[in-house]
């Protein structure tokens, strides 16, 4: 675990995609909290998710830990909400429609 922690805290940008789809056990959730805490105000972290904050407690299994993690990653952050439609789905649909017109 300490090698993972070291790697995650050293990189300039930590990017987490599909955040919220995997349910973490207590140990994993605490490790993620520690990583966010170590990175706070030192390094950039990007989180991509389709899950609203209200559903994150399912991922972490602990409301207090979830609130603490959300607090860490939203402090002095820029939230970009792209809507509820998947970019991948929209792109695939646009390609399909373009092909159908040709």
Question: H or E stretch including 45?
Answer: strand 44-47
pLDDT tens digits, 15-43 = 988 877 778 888 888 998 999 999 988 99
CATH of the domain spanning 2-101: 3.40.50.300
pLDDT tens digits, 55-67 = 888 888 888 988 9
Sequence ranges of the domains in the chain: 2-101
The stretch 52-78 carries a mean pLDDT of: 87
Assessment of whether the complete model's pTM goes beyond 0.75: no
C-alpha span between 90 and 95 (Å, rounded): 9
């Amino acid at each position: 675990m300490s090698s993972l922690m070291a790697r995650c805290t050293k990189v300039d940008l930590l990017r987490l995609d599909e955040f919220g789809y995997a349910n973490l056990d207590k140990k994993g959730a605490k490790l993620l909290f520690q990583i966010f805490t170590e990175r706070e105000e030192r390094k950039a972290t990007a989180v991509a998710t389709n899950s609203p904050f209200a559903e994150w407690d399912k991922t972490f299994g602990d409301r207090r830990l979830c609130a603490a993690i959300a607090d860490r990653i939203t402090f002095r952050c820029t939230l970009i909400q792209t809507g509820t439609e998947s970019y991948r789905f929209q792109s695939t649909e646009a390609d399909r429609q373009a092909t159908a017109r040709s």
